[in-house]
Amino acid sequence: MLTIDLSGRRALVTGGDGGLGAAASRALAACGAWVGIGWRGDRAPAEALVAELHGAEGRVVPIHLEDVADPESVAAAFAAVDEELGGIDILVNNAGIDGKRQLCAESDPAAWRRVIEVDLIGPYNCAREAAKRMIAQQRGVIVNVTSVHETIPWTGYSAYTAAKAGLSMFTRTLAQEIAEHGVRVVAIAPGAIKTPINADVWKDPAGKADLLGKIPMDRIGEPKDVGRVIAFLASDLAGYVTGTTVAVDGGMLLYPGFREGG
């Protein structure tokens, strides 16, 4: 029987206290990893998740990471990971925002820039800290959470789509740079996943129906669908996978509107 065994692997999940990050934290801990749950703003959700996972196979601790776009904030978080977990073997770059919907011609440059800072520069800052440590120990895995919108345009969200497409290419380039050091870099592209951030869509009957029309598998994904794939990608079972994006989208990238022909 094949099992995902992450016993003793040390992980940091940015934005690890809610949504997809919490699902990743749960999955990694269930597979035996020691997990640092990155949190910002309110510590309570991270503490609640730590309490929930008490008794899991691996150790779980909260790690304060207030702003992934700030190199000093990131450096402090990684120092805490070094102290609490003794180093890092797995980084899940999950923290991100989609920003307010705004057409490019009408957009606020500061708001547009902030999405890029969080969604692209943030993962760079974290990967930079992780890569230094992983190269030194000649092992490690970095999982970048992109989106189906690294491929699919999304009107009104040009900053988000640009950041996710950039993160995809960053994944490939970084993988090329550090493969010789035993470090893998992969991306995971979720589609429509049932999280609080998009509850206004899937809780509305009309919105849900429209969304399902974009998904060939005819269901909205659950956070655990993403968490389990992250755990797999971080494990030795995926030991020959690097520099690519794995879509977890129920087929959304198959462009279901073309099922009946062009």
Positions marked catalytic: 160
| Nearest of 32, 30, 128 to residue 77 by alpha carbon | 128
Q: What is the DSSP string of 191-231?
A: -SB--GGGHHHHTSHHHHHHHHTT-TT-SPBPHHHHHHHHH
Contact assessment for residue 38 and residue 61, using Cβ atoms and an 8 Å cutoff = no
| Nearest of 94, 90, 85, 32 to residue 63 by alpha carbon | 85
| Nearest of 133, 136, 119, 135 to residue 170 by alpha carbon | 119
Residue located via tokens 């010789």:
180
The span from the CA of 172 to the CA of 93, in Å, is: 15
Provide CB contacts within 8 A for 100, sequence distance 6+: 111
Provide CB contacts within 8 A for 178, sequence distance 6+: 131, 134, 135, 185
Residue located via tokens 């809780």:
203
- Per-residue CA distances from 150 to 165, 168, 191, 257 (Å): 4, 7, 11, 19
Contact assessment for residue 192 and residue 221, using Cβ atoms and an 8 Å cutoff = yes
Amino acid at site 175 = A
